[in-house]
Structure 1
Amino acid sequence: MLNKKLIIVSCGIALFGFGCQPMVLKQNIPVSTNPLGAKIYANGTLVGQTPATVSLERTQNHIITLVKENYRQEDVVISK
């Protein structure tokens, strides 16, 4: 009888514990421009050059700024 209860409890813990998915705190955002080679700023910090993938926190809003010499700067707001 004790073994049966132990098996039932173990199965319950396994199903409950492994059934939960961890929270995704970051998301990868692909960034590309035409022409290529624009600098990418995320919230004012240089993070790369196009084409690239930028990893952003999902818990807050972001401003992506694209800058290339002789071209107009472009700001893109990404909301959570």
Structure 2
Amino acid sequence: QDSAGTGAGGILLAALIERARELPGIDTLYLLTSRKCAAAIHLYERAGFVHDADIMARFGHAYARCDVAMRYPLDRPR
């Protein structure tokens, strides 16, 4: 079944962020994706992820289909 538009992605992403805050030693979440995943990128931006060209330059070359890197600092307000 297709879950697009149900809000499931936002719920799962929020749960992931909250769980990461509970784990010791984790201060930032990182992700690599493709600009073809526009809906997902929009979801990440709404959640507070920011684009990070440095992460893309350092790690993006390892993944042929990834051309977008983002990060989420866990010390930001909820």
Q: Which category describes the TM-score, using the shorter chain as reference length?
A: under 0.3
Q: Which structure has the bigger radius of gyration? A: 1
- Bigger relative contact order, structure 1 or 2 (CA pairs below 8 A, ≥6 apart): 2
TM-score by length of 2: 0.26
More strand by share: 1
